[in-house]
Amino acid sequence: MSTSEQLLTIAAVLLGALTTYVTNYWTERQRIRRELLTRWDDRKLSAYENYVDRVRAAVFLAVELYEHREGIRLSDDPEPQLRAQLADAIRLQGRAFERIMLLAGDEVIEVAHDLNAASREVDWQATGKQPGTLDDWRERNRAVFRCINALHEAARVDLGVSGSVIGDSHQDRDLLLPPTRRDRSDQSDHGPVMG
């Protein structure tokens, strides 16, 4: 083998080694990037899930307090205890919101701000800090759940999940409400109302 052939062989081996090194480097770098994105997406999903859960828990406690205060349905717990439970739920909701602020994209953060404002109105009416009728109360609760749906939608976009939870594919939903007192008296006279 001549010197030029040996140099050509050495150059080919070096080029092959360099190509292998660069390929492995870029492959490993892409793998690490995917792992980081997956890890952040997992944390975002956990933050979104926890925040919505905390909002719903506070709203359900507010409903219990409101219904107790208004005589709609008395609670087994005394009002001071219901207020304390609601205050604790609001505190936990605030902590969950902070995780949204740290991890979420801009659109999710904006929707979360709207959700916070809507849920505070429910809390304020439940505690008597904000006056309102039963219709006001129901509209405030509807607003919270519209904001939750908007948060779901924004979170899905932020996480790259296809599809939609709102729009033409899904019909509008309303609050699940018990029959009014008049409806209940009609039911006792004529059996359950179907509809």
Q: What is the pLDDT of residues 158-175, one digit of tens each?
A: 998 877 666 555 556 666
Tokens of residue 59, six digits: 């709203």
Please work out, in degrees rounded to the nearest 5, the angle formed at the alpha carbon of residue 42 by the alpha carbons of 94 and 120. Answer: 20
- For residues 12 and 102, membership in a common domain is answered with no
- For residues 166 and 85, membership in a common domain is answered with yes
- For residues 102 and 125, membership in a common domain is answered with yes
Residue 179 in any domain: the answer is no
- For residues 50 and 122, membership in a common domain is answered with yes
Residue 132 in any domain: the answer is yes
Average pLDDT over residues 76-81: 95
Which residue reads 């207020």 in tokens? 83
pLDDT at 24 over 90: no
Residue 149 in any domain: the answer is yes
- For residues 71 and 159, membership in a common domain is answered with yes
Structural domain count, the chain: 2
- For residues 73 and 166, membership in a common domain is answered with yes
- For residues 163 and 71, membership in a common domain is answered with yes
pTM (predicted TM-score):
0.70
Residue 187 in any domain: the answer is no
DSSP state letter for 71: T
Average pLDDT over residues 31-55: 83
